Structure 1
Amino acid sequence: MFLSTEKKQLSELPRNCTFPENDWHILAGFWHPVAFSSQVKDKPAKAKLLDVDLVIYRTVDGIAAARDLCVHRGAALSLGWMDEDCKNIVCPFHGLHYNKDGECTKVPSMPDQSKPIPKSIRLISYRAQERYGLVWVCLKPEAIRPIPEWPLLENAGDEWLTIEIPEGLWKASASRHVENFNDLAHISWVHMKTFGNRERPEIIDYKLELDDNGMRMEMPYIEVERGYNDDEGEREREVYYTHFFTFPFATDLQVDYKTDDGGHVTSHFYDIGTPISAHETAIFQISQTNIPGATAEDYAEYQLVTNEEDLALVESQKPEEVPLNIAEELHIPADKFSIQYRRALVRLFNLGAPEMTE
């Protein structure tokens, strides 16, 4: 009912945090998408990142992100609205106005509006920027890594169709999701409604390169092309996968398809897992293709079916967290990506470090 007189009400670490404290501070230093730009228009939007409830709002001065509470009495600002000039978000409880930088610009109940507002009345604001049609947020003053560089997504020509896939919510850790998205051996067994091929489950000793920002891996595969109509039948097709992975949870999967005339066409599947909590992940995906005749509706439906095939299995994995001690799970040769991913998280960022005890 009451907080202790000795308890600090607002700390950087969120209340009831599901992450080890060390891991939270590290992950808070990355950029994470929290919404599609199209979801943040003339009204504030609610989001969550690393157990922190956020309000995302658009002003005439740009996009803004803050903790979803008015510092006056703690009401959720996501229940509020923008003022007439779209310069400030308005708290629905007492009408306090806050600008893009979180500064309080108006306290309606003050009888003398000419008096200065105390500078201590300001939101807990975070860095926010828009890129690729997504709103990215970093919970720290300085990011330890940049937003992924996806130049084609930023500057695609008219021959490219770009499709935003409806946001997903998985009851699984972001690390489990990213390992699944980049797992090559599961394709033949899991994706039997879409492109998997159980007749060709072998995974070659694929190429993998690692640097401080991420990994690149590539390999050929023989997919099964399946139509949605029974009369279309099935046929094999040779493809080439190139995964451009950026730490900690973002992937650009490039798929090159051979055409009947000896040429090739390409699709990109951009996937980012945003850690809502240690056990819940928001999935942001954008597809891009230059396949003639492709439609946004078909591509979105296909991706959602693909996600559905993965969902139950990833949510069933135990432990929910990815073990960063390599010896905690068994490995097969096809696990090269996940092994290097886990080692890099420890070596580069010190994730999974033992908690300090007194």
Structure 2
Amino acid sequence: MYEPTDLASTATEYPAGSEIRESDWHILAGFWHPVAFSSDLADGPVASKLLDVDLVVYRTSEGAAVARDLCVHRGSKLSGGWMSDDGACIVCPYHGLHYDRSGQCTWIPANDPDSPPPAKTMRLFSYLAAERYGIVWACMKPEPLRPLPEWPHLDEFGPEWLRIQIPKGTWAATASRHCENFNDIAHISWVHMKTFGNRARPVVPDYTLEQTDYGLYMALPYIEVERGFNDDLGEREREVFYQHHLTYPFATDLKVDYYEDDGESFVTSHFFDIGSPVSARTTDIYQVSLTNIPGATVEDYAEYQLVTNSEDIVIVESQRPENVPLNLAAETHIRADRLSVRYRRDLVEMFGLGAPEMVA
């Protein structure tokens, strides 16, 4: 019923009750993760969750901001509030306290107008925030381990490109399982039979795999089957070329190139996919695409991606153990798994994830 008298603040860094191992939590907190689409903030603050921490995401006249979803006065959720008329502050729905982009309380309406300004200690537990690619990102440490993904195609693109924002999905799976699946080639011929998989061509070639400054690069050809799941195209084979740019820990730019049937029109699509770890076994999926497919529409393209996701989610949510085994001996591997094996090894060797817990 009551908090103990020796509890000075509820704003501790590692969230109580989290099933993410504390050592892994502190590492993952040092990366940038999506917490909202920019368009989500059009009508005011929104609630989000990252690494078991409830967040409020809001945009002031100075830019996007991310903080604990907790007013420091009496613990109400700020995501139920609104922005001030001048756009400079988020307003608590309980007592109307105003907080600026830095999290500092700037006005307490219940105080006498002649009162001194709110104490400097009256501020939200705020995090680093950045807005790029139509996404609001948060880093829960003062010094990020890595910069944001570098996706210049999403910063500037000409009128020949169509940008598609896929509705956010929430998967009952770990971010690493989702990331491995998105970058897995061998499953395509078996899982994606409603969309582009080709069961007649299951062999995965000895693909290019390179270490990069940001993570991994993989490139290979594949013979897709183009299926008109929502029209009368039927089925036909099409040779495509995949390039996966994986930015650690959970972000990928998948570039797909192919020639149209005329053999002259060259088509390129980018699938930008980021898994944001809500908790130990829940992941929000943020996806944005660019394509120059002639005649493509946002509605059809988004529907196609959602059908593709629906094929994947059945498999990924069923995987056991739910956590990706970072001990490479815990699962068997095939030749097509070279990327996922390198990915797991790098998570351990580069960042220290999965390290044995120290016993006092």
State the TM-score, normalized to the length of structure 1: 0.98
Could you tell me which residue of structure 2 aligns to residue 213 of structure 1? 214
Could you tell me which residue of structure 2 aligns to residue 265 of structure 1? 267
1:316 counterpart SS class:
coil
Structure 2: stretches of 5+ with no match in the other structure: none
Whichever residue aligns with residue 4 of structure 2, its letter is S
2:161 matched to 1:160? yes
Aligned-residue sequence identity (percent) comes to 64
Contact kept, 8 Å, 1:195 with 1:225, in 2: the verdict is yes
Could you tell me which residue of structure 1 aligns to residue 251 of structure 2? 250
State the TM-score, normalized to the length of structure 2: 0.97
Map 1:125-204 → 2, pairs under 5 A: 125-204=126-205
Could you tell me which residue of structure 1 aligns to residue 104 of structure 2? 103
Q: 1:75 to 1:232 in 2, by over 3 A?
A: same
Distance 1:183 1:113 in 2: 63
Cα displacement (A) at 1:229: 5.0
Distance 1:326 1:60 in 2: 48
Contact kept, 8 Å, 1:161 with 1:296, in 2: the verdict is yes
Distance 1:112 1:158 in 2: 53
Whichever residue aligns with residue 139 of structure 1, its letter is M
Could you tell me which residue of structure 2 aligns to residue 224 of structure 1? 225
Map 1:1-358 → 2, pairs under 5 A: 1-8=1-8, 9-228=10-229, 231-263=232-264, 264-358=266-360
Whichever residue aligns with residue 144 of structure 1, its letter is L
Contact kept, 8 Å, 2:19 with 2:280, in 1: the verdict is yes
The answer to which of 124-133 and 221-230 deviates more is 221-230
Whichever residue aligns with residue 72 of structure 2, its letter is V
Whichever residue aligns with residue 342 of structure 2, its letter is Q
Contact kept, 8 Å, 2:194 with 2:229, in 1: the verdict is no
Distance 1:42 1:244 in 2: 34
* TM-superposition CA deviations, 1:133-187 (whole Å, max 9, x none): 0001111111110110011111111111110000000000000000000010000
Distance 2:67 2:335 in 1: 44
1:40 counterpart SS class:
helix
Distance 1:201 1:190 in 2: 11
CA RMSD of aligned residues (A): 1.2
Contact kept, 8 Å, 2:59 with 2:65, in 1: the verdict is yes
Whichever residue aligns with residue 6 of structure 1, its letter is D
2:160 counterpart SS class:
coil
Whichever residue aligns with residue 348 of structure 1, its letter is M
1:33 counterpart SS class:
strand
Structure 1: stretches of 5+ with no match in the other structure: none
1:338 counterpart SS class:
helix
Whichever residue aligns with residue 203 of structure 1, its letter is V
The answer to which of 263-272 and 3-12 deviates more is 3-12
Whichever residue aligns with residue 134 of structure 1, its letter is I
Distance 1:228 1:315 in 2: 24
The answer to which of 325-334 and 102-111 deviates more is 102-111
2:350 counterpart SS class:
helix
Whichever residue aligns with residue 5 of structure 2, its letter is T
The answer to which of 124-133 and 230-239 deviates more is 230-239
1:41 counterpart SS class:
helix
Distance 2:113 2:260 in 1: 73
Cα displacement (A) at 1:212: 4.2
Q: 1:286 to 1:20 in 2, by over 3 A?
A: same
* TM-superposition CA deviations, 1:313-346 (whole Å, max 9, x none): 1000011100101001110111011000000001
